[in-house]
Structure 1
């Protein structure tokens, strides 16, 4: 595999997993920020913050990866079961299935000649109706829905881990008091970008989505600090 082809596939998989990347980073940032600031509020050294934060980030990333994989697998298993049920229903009542399909085609804008041709062909083998429905459903799927669950879960793991380690890294590089400030600033910038990403996915107002993202993170941070101070 050439380097250019490899990079192209990476870009395609990233584009297909855009939702998982944004969601994973949002989850990792919010959850680990609260954990890091809570430990920092009650710890005497940065070592405890780094240990707790890094452990939490890795554990959360693995959990999110597994959850993402199982969710997509469950959705596809459910879809396959629905397809099998539809095939069974057509086999049980082929005339009714043909009649239903013709009723839909009458309002589709096709000419009566074309509808009659389809009716004659379908009537010979009603089982082809299920294949037609599955093919139409497959054509309506996005690239992300066609991508392997493994790819989605890997991007979920990487994005969650990256975002989870972001609040931790300042405590590795700087003294406690300085790390506090850098941690909050860097995380706030990341949350701003994530809010914009969430707005793009959901077609919502960027201002509102950023405010919601910041508000959730602030609540998690305050909860972590309060618990850390009380337990210390």
Structure 2
């Protein structure tokens, strides 16, 4: 008797549906927090270079946080809405084609599986079986790379971006209110640490080199803070 081989998935290997989508959302959240940290840090440190007035620093921090969070949310909503509208239009077109020319669509699906490496007979069998089970789902996945049951939600993207930006922006907006003259160096150090964390997290999620990602992130954020602080000092001195 021949023993049937069994396959056991590696515990660290993601197989469930939606893993890639969840990773993309997580990457977007990390990048949103990073944007909030850098942009608001640059703003409040620039203002700190021009004035020591805590009220001005508080107003700048809140204004930068609110404006940035709303801008991120609006931008994500518009962008993802456009993507979602395109997905729905493609699915509607696929439905019409399946209803009006089913034979041509079956042949198209067969050729798609041939292009993936299956021989003609096997590709045709797979296409027939999948069409019998869920014709629209089969075409949407193989031809369009879309799940017709799960369109991208623009509201989810908007709220996630707003929340991530706000969380990242809170750090510099609050730390800059510490007593002078320690507020600027402490803000600088805390932001650099935050950028190192978000850079490392983003690199691990993307499978990139952690050291290079952290160095780029920290260097870019540090340069932004240094430039805005210098501009603030120049403006404050001039005024």
Query: TM-score, normalised on structure 2?
Result: 0.74
Q: Distance in 2 between matches of 1:35 and 1:199?
A: 26
Q: Distance in 2 between matches of 1:222 and 1:38?
A: 8
Contact 2:137-2:148 at 8 Å conserved across structures: no
Moved over 6 A (4+): 13-16
Q: Deviation string for 1:176-216 (max 9, x for gaps)?
A: 21111221121111111000111023211000111111121
Q: Distance in 2 between matches of 1:65 and 1:120?
A: 43
Aligned length in residues: 212
Contact 1:191-1:213 at 8 Å conserved across structures: yes
Q: Distance in 1 between matches of 2:226 and 2:155?
A: 35
Q: Distance in 2 between matches of 1:208 and 1:227?
A: 28
Considering Cα pairs closer than 8 Å and 6+ residues apart, tell me whether 1 or 2 has the greater RCO.
1
Aligned to 1:80: 88
Alignment map for 1:189-208 (pairs within 5 Å)? 189-208=193-212
> Whose helix proportion is higher, 1 or 2?
1
Change (3 A) 1:85 1:146: closer
Q: Distance in 2 between matches of 1:176 and 1:14?
A: 42
How far did 1:129 drift? 4.2
What do you get for the CA RMSD once the two structures are aligned?
3.3
Structure 1 residue ranges without an equivalent (≥5): 1-12
Query: TM-score, normalised on structure 1?
Result: 0.76
Task: Name the SS of the counterpart of 1:166 in structure 2.
Answer: helix
Q: Distance in 2 between matches of 1:166 and 1:196?
A: 18
